[in-house]
Every structure is written in structure tokens, then in C-alpha cells.
Amino acid sequence: MKHIRVFRFLLLVPLIFSTAYAKEDGFKSLRQTSSSFATVAKTVSPSVVFIQVESFTDDTATVPFQSPFGEQTPLNEEFLRRFFGESYPGLKPGRKKPQKQRRTLGQGSGFVFKVKDGVLSDTTYIMTNNHVVKDAEKIRVTFKDGRVFNAKVTGRDPQSDIAVIEIQTDDFPVLELGDSSSLEVGEWVVAMGNPFGLSHTMTAGIVSAKGRTSIGINDYEDFIQTDAAINPGNSGGPLVNLDSQVIGINTAIFSRSGGYMGIGFAIPINMAKEIANQLIGGGEVTRGHLGVVIQNLTSELAESFNIKNKQGILISEVAEDSPAANAGLRQGDIIIAYRGEPINDIGNFRNKVALTPPGKQEEITIVREGKRLDVMVSIGKRSDDQVIAKASAKSTEQFGLTVQTITQSLARKFNATAGEGVVVTQVKPGSISALAGIKTGAVVLQVDRKPLKNADDFIREIKRASKNKRVLLLLRTGNAQHYVVLRW
């Protein structure tokens, strides 16, 4: 019996030691992770700045009515106007005081970054968001060590929400810019910034998604989505990986309350650095121009165009004398690759074209009538009134209705006016729109009596109306206008 007890004890000894070792290994792993975050904080913090912005806006006040007769003046306004002029204080709506400038303060974050060769050696460049400094009269940046500098704007790009500011010193370390295209969903990332004015705050999380477009924040979007806490004041700060490389710029949060709710968005550094270098080199951004209107390839469209795997985006219009037209691209072509890289999203395609230098020859792979073709296009230079690669059609699944902004060609085709309403390009059979008698080619002028200018207006107003489970549409078919009520 004694031998049996000894034997059992000897069997337990390895188990006890293995449990102890496993526990120690777990603690060791946690210590290594903690040490990695601490290293990132020490490396990154000296290059992150707290940005304070001072701006001034005109504030016009109206002098209250001060008739010498009080509120019940026995003299009418015409009499007072004739003998005392428009400046008489008893006249409605009152006279305006001279404009005063109202001082407003804003704040955000930024970081020192390494720029391409050939710039001033005594200047430190700081990357941030355009919305942080767009109305700035005075900019002050504060570093981790307490040093404060006055800064000026080097260049801004509202369409991507990127800005570069500069200070006259070269005494601060720069952050290494990483490769945001190699970033993986699930990878650890760290957000640095000054949320709510709390200087040099670090939060950690993971990359929860990539390639977020059509969020509606910027004109050009390809956001990294993260659950690292991003709050007001974090805007412009760096999102870095565990190698202390910047892989994004903290830009926005998804919030119903104004605070952090687990979803933040950062601009990929690959996009940001291209724009930043252009701002430093010339003070503005030059974007590529293709001249097509595009839309996502739905299952129904893919079937109609005999596309089995639903890869690609559809060209719904080609502008006359555009680079696309000159290269032979046609309406109905399916773009499946750009520069050999697969294309499945209109936002991603717009970004790629926009960041292509004008004059450069690029290969676009298309499918036309079931055949795969490679087309070389000489990218043009975009002006403000040109189309790069615009998303055209907007659909509402619940209504079975697809609409499109009225272009000049569509205006001629449907006897419509560009900027007045949207044209119905598709009605799903059996949908509430089809049952209400709406047909392809009809022009939707109003949603709940609110005039429409484009497809984005239509989607916005439809979303508002959806709360009531009912929407009133004003349609024009041919030369006749009529209202239609959709209920669901």
C-alpha cells in the first residue's frame, strides 16, 4: 500500500511542475507583450505633437429695438424711415452692429515624419488632418518634452483630409512610415494622440477591417478600421504597429454620443504619404483623371453581363474626349484589374486612379462581351469639373429601386435637366416600387417634398423617410408629374 502511495506521488510531480512552468510561460508572454507596448510608447511619443489651433470668425449682432416711444410707437415705420433714415433704431429688423471677430479654439494631434529628399534641412514637417488646421489663424504645437513652437500650414488637401504643417527646427526624431498595404486584419496597432486635450495618450487594439470606403467622411476613402480607442483630439495622430512604424492617421470615430464606441477610422499611410509629399513639393495635390462613371457589380448585373464570379466594377458612362474614351474604353465594360491588381470596389479604384501621376501609362484589364482585354490608358490631369471615376448608381434594396445622378447624356436621353432629380435606371420585379407603377426612365424630383440634386441626396432623404415606413415621391414621366406613396 505504501508503495502505491509513493508511486502516485511520483506521477503527480511532473504534473505539478508542468503546471507551474505553463503558468510561468503565460506570465512571460504577457510581460513580453507589455514590454512591446512600452517600447512603442517610448519610441513614438517624442515625435507626436499636441496641436492647438486659434481661429477667428465674424460675429454680427443686431441692436435691439429702442424706440423713444417704447414698444407702442405712435409713428409708423415709413415716417421714421423718411425723416431719420434706415439707421433709426426703432425700425425693424433693427440695425446691425459692426462686425466683431469671435475667437475659437480647436485641438488635435500630429506627428513628425520623414519626407523625401530635397526639402529644407532646417524644417520639421508634421502630418495631421486637414480638419484640424483648416481655419487656423495661429497654430501652436507642443512636444512630449514640453517645448512649444508656432507652426504654419505647408499645404492642405480637403478631399483626403490630409494636411502638413511645419516648424523651423530640425531637432526632433522622425517616425518611420510603414507599409499599410501589408497590414493584416487582427494585427495589433497602437493609437497615439491627445484625446480631450490629455497629452500623449496611448491606446491599443487590433485592425478590425481594411479598405473601408463609402463611409461619407472624405471624398477619397480607403480607411483602416480599428478598435483602438480614438476620441476627439486624437485626429491627426499616428496609428502605429508594434514595430513603431506609422501605418495610418487617426481621423474619425463612429459614434452616436460623440465618444468612443469601439470603431475608429484611420487613413492608410501609403495614401497619406503620397499626398503629403505633393503638399510639401508644390502646396497642392494633382490627381489623375480617367473620365468614367462606374458602379458596383451587383449579382443581377453580373448575370446580365455574363460575369460568373462577380469580380470587377461596371463602366456605366464614358466622358467624351476623356483619357478613357481615347483608350477605347466603352460603356458596359467591366474593369477587373488596374495595374495588375484586382478591382472589386469603386472607392478603391477611384483612389488608385487619383494617386496615379498625370501622363503615366497604366494598364486596365476589362471584360467586354465575355472576352478579357488589356487596355493601356494615358492618365489625364483632373480639374475640379472633371470626373475621375465617379460612382453613379445608388440602389435601395427595400424598394427595389436603383437611381442615378442625371448627367448631360442622361438629360438628353430622358428629356431631363442635370441637377434636378435623379433618373430611375432599374426597378426590381415584384418590389414595392414595381407594384407602385414606377418604371425605368422616370425622374424622381422630390422625396417627402425635398428637392433632389443627385443620387446621394436621394439616398440620404430615403434613409430619413424610412423611420416612418412611408415615403412620398414626386415623379416625372414624360412631360407629366405625379406623386407616388410607397409603404412597407
Q: Where in the chain is the domain with CATH 2.30.42.10?
A: 288-390, 394-487
Q: CA 198, CA 429: separation in Å to the nearest integer?
A: 56
Positive or negative torsion for Cα 130, 132, 137, 143? negative
CA distance 32 to 12: 30
For residues 161 and 112, is the Cβ–Cβ distance under 8 A? no
| Verdict on whether the full-model pTM lies above 0.75 | no
Given a contact cutoff of 8 angstroms between Cβ atoms, the answer to whether 203 and 190 are in contact is: yes
Tens of pLDDT along the chain (488 residues)?
A: 555 555 555 555 565 555 555 556 666 767 777 788 889 989 999 999 999 999 876 554 444 433 333 444 444 444 434 444 444 444 455 444 555 666 778 889 999 998 765 455 578 999 999 999 988 899 999 999 999 999 999 999 988 899 999 998 878 889 999 999 899 999 999 999 988 888 888 999 999 998 887 666 777 778 899 988 888 888 999 999 999 999 999 998 876 666 667 788 999 999 999 899 889 887 788 889 898 888 877 776 777 777 777 788 888 778 888 999 999 999 889 999 999 999 888 888 888 898 888 999 999 999 998 889 999 999 998 775 454 455 555 557 677 888 888 877 678 777 788 888 999 988 888 888 888 889 888 999 988 888 998 888 888 888 777 677 778 888 888 877 787 888 77
288-390, superfamily in CATH? PDZ domain (2.30.42.10)
Length of the chain in terms of residues written: 488
What are the CB-based long-range contacts (under 8 Å, 24+) for 477-485?
477/439, 477/441, 477/442, 477/443, 478/415, 479/415, 481/445, 484/436, 484/437, 484/438, 485/436
Give Cα separations from 220 to 74, 314, 339, 388, 470 (angstroms). Answer: 62, 19, 19, 11, 33
CATH of region 394-487: 2.30.42.10
* The one catalytic residue among 109, 235, 244, 316: 235
Whole-number Å distance between alpha carbons of 470 and 369:
41
Indicate the DSSP class of residue 177.
Answer: B
Other CB atoms within a 10 A radius of the CB of residue 359 amount to: 11
Q: Establish whether 157 is a catalytic residue.
A: no
d(CA 154, CA 280): 6
End-to-end alpha carbon distance in the chain: 80
User: By CB neighbour count within 10 A (0-12 exposed, 13-18 middle, 19+ buried), where does 76 fall?
Assistant: exposed
Task: Give the right CATH number for 47-60+99-285 from 3.40.1350.10, 3.30.230.10, 3.50.40.10, 2.40.10.120.
Answer: 2.40.10.120
Instruction: Point out which residues pair with 474 in neighbouring strands.
Output: 446, 483
Q: Boundaries of CATH 2.40.10.120 in the chain?
A: 47-60+99-285
8 Å CB contact between 63 and 94: yes
Per the annotation, the verdict on 45 as an active-site residue is no
* Catalytic annotation, pick one of 47, 157, 160, 161: 161
8-state DSSP, 132: H
Which one of 131, 160, 180, 244 is the catalytic residue? 131
CA angle 83, 85, 91 (to 5 degrees): 100
Burial code (b: 16+ CB inside 10 Å, e: under 16) for 269-284 equals bbbbbbbbbbbbeeee
* pLDDT tens, position by position, 104-158: 788 899 999 987 654 555 789 999 999 999 888 999 999 999 999 999 999 999 8
Q: Is 208 a catalytic residue?
A: no
